[in-house]
Structure formats: structure tokens, C-alpha cells
């Protein structure tokens, strides 16, 4: 639940400010010593509704799995409902691809599209803050896998 909370906090970077509007795409790439197959198993799931406990800035979010390709280690999903959309986003769609790195670890590539409502505008610096939080979530999963070598084998 902590990892999911951290992940969703990366979406809390939007306001009705001036800079960017419409569909905003960002790409993120992170390397890890954790092997590709293990990292993929740790990230992919079929959670449909996430309800957060006391202390979280969000109450719930509806998460739709759009596609899973285990052979190519890709996973796509959309956040389609919930307070993580903060009333300014229609949805957030993401595609995650985990590639093998030459050193036996993995490279996680994440491309996300934020679909805004109407003429809502987003400040570019706020998107960077969201990317930083998403990278932190990845590192939290990585730390868990490194501390628990038998997990997700």
C-alpha cells in the first residue's frame, strides 16, 4: 500500500495554472540491478480499485489494465476514476516496458499521457515533480526486491 500511495502521489502535480494543456506525455527511464523478469512480475497486477487508508492524500482510484505482454515485458494501464485525477484530468494512461540491461539488471521505461479536462493547464515544473515521485516509486520496488531475493521468482 505504501508503494501504491507513493505512485499515486506522483499524480498530485496538477493545477489550473498556465503552461501546458491537452494531453501531456512524459517518458521516464530507470536502470536497476534487478533482472528483467523479476522486475516485471513485481510491477504487473490486475488491481481494479485501490482504497487508501488514513493518512493518504487520496481516498481511492480506479485502475484499468489495458494490456499485459509477458513475453515482451510490457504492461499498459489507465487511471480512469478517483480523487487522484483531482477533478482536472479525464484519465492517465501509461505503458511500462522493462528491458534487460547488459549487466543482468533491467531498464524500466514508462511513458504516461495525462488527459486533461477542457482547458485545464499544467505547469511543466509540476510534471517534473511527478516524474521524480514515479522514479522514487520504482526505487522503492527495487529496494524491496533487493532486500527480499526470493520474492517474485
User: Is 152 within the bounds of a domain?
Assistant: no
Please answer whether residues 68 and 45 qualify as being in contact, where contact means their C-beta atoms are separated by less than 8 angstroms: no
User: Is 15 within the bounds of a domain?
Assistant: yes
**CATH number for the domain that contains residue 93:** 3.30.530.20
Cα separation, 31 vs 20, whole angstroms: 29
User: Is 153 within the bounds of a domain?
Assistant: no
Quick one: pLDDT at residue 14?
42
Q: Kindly report, residue by residue over 59-80, the tens digit of the pLDDT.
A: 888 888 888 899 999 999 998 8
Report how many domains make up the chain: 1
Cα separation, 79 vs 54, whole angstroms: 21
User: Is 30 within the bounds of a domain?
Assistant: yes
User: Is 45 within the bounds of a domain?
Assistant: yes
Q: Kindly report, residue by residue over 107-147, the tens digit of the pLDDT.
A: 999 898 888 888 887 777 666 666 777 787 788 889 999 99
* Structure-block grid coordinates of residue 118: 477542457
Cα separation, 110 vs 115, whole angstroms: 16
Over pLDDT 70: what percentage of the chain?
76
Q: What domain range is 23 assigned to?
A: 1-147
User: Is 88 within the bounds of a domain?
Assistant: yes
Amino acid at each position: 500500500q505504501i508503494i501504491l500511495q507513493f505512485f499515486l502521489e506522483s499524480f498530485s502535480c496538477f493545477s489550473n495554472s498556465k503552461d501546458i494543456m491537452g494531453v501531456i506525455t512524459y517518458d521516464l527511464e530507470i536502470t536497476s540491478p534487478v533482472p528483467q523478469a523479476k522486475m516485471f512480475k513485481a510491477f504487473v497486477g490486475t488491481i481494479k480499485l485501490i482504497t487508501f487508508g488514513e493518512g493518504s492524500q487520496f481516498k481511492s482510484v480506479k485502475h484499468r489494465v489495458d494490456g499485459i505482454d509477458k513475453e515482451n515485458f510490457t504492461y499498459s494501464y489507465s487511471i480512469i476514476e478517483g480523487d487522484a485525477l483531482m477533478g482536472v484530468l479525464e484519465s492517465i494512461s501509461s505503458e511500462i516496458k522493462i528491458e534487460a540491461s547488459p549487466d543482468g539488471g533491467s531498464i524500466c521505461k514508462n511513458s504516461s499521457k495525462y488527459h486533461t479536462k477542457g482547458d485545464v493547464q499544467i505547469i511543466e515544473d509540476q510534471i517534473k515533480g511527478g516524474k521524480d515521485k514515479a522514479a522514487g516509486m520504482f526505487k522503492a520496488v527495487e529496494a524491496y526486491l533487493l532486500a527480499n531475493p526470493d520474492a517474485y521468482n
